[in-house]
Amino acid sequence: MKRPTRAKLDLGPLPHLLGYALRRAQIAVFADFIAAFEPLGLRPAQFSVLLLIDINPGCKQSDAADALGIMQPNFVALMDDLERRGLARRAPAQTDRRSHALELTDKGAQLLGKARAAVTAHEARVTQSLDAEEASQLFELLARVERSLQAPDSDS
């Protein structure tokens, strides 16, 4: 993927601010993901939901939304689209009829198989400048940053 030409401006401290650096990396990663998944008609959140349902068949809709950090109204709209496309379905949960259990359809499972191959190639491109140890360190460091911001405030 060819990068657009940018003006040569002094960015000052921006490249050394974690939020800025993470956002720039996220934009690049998502651009590659979107290009790789365009033939499949999947966006990142849709892929995540299909993968989560495949790994956790029958999970409750509310649990899936929480696990992925998607607000409930947004998750409902996302599931509406996946159902409309015949990729997933909601069924009454056996333990709580007010809840929905999520399942992949055969069509969803087939598409997810293609998506898994696409994500493997995408991940290889994203980490091509890292060796295996560096890639592992990157994941650990990102997880540590996330955990540090989710930790309860010890000063309260």
The pLDDT assigned to 53 comes to 97
Cβ neighbours of residue 85 closer than 8 Å, sequence gap 6 or more: 41, 107
Task: For residue range 86-138, list pLDDT tens digits in order.
Answer: 999 998 877 777 778 999 999 999 999 999 999 999 999 999 999 999 999 99
For 58-79, b/e burial (b = at least 16 CB within 10 A) is ebbbeebbeeeebeeeebeebb
Task: For residue range 140-156, list pLDDT tens digits in order.
Answer: 999 999 999 986 654 54
Of 113, 115, 119, 61, residue with least CA distance to 90: 61
Of 28, 102, 40, 107, residue with least CA distance to 67: 102
Spell out the domains of the chain, with CATH numbers in brackets. Answer: 42-143 (1.10.10.10)
The pLDDT assigned to 130 comes to 96
Average pLDDT in the chain:
92
Of 23, 47, 63, residue with least CA distance to 120: 47
CA dihedral 114, 117, 118, 124 (to 10 degrees): 180
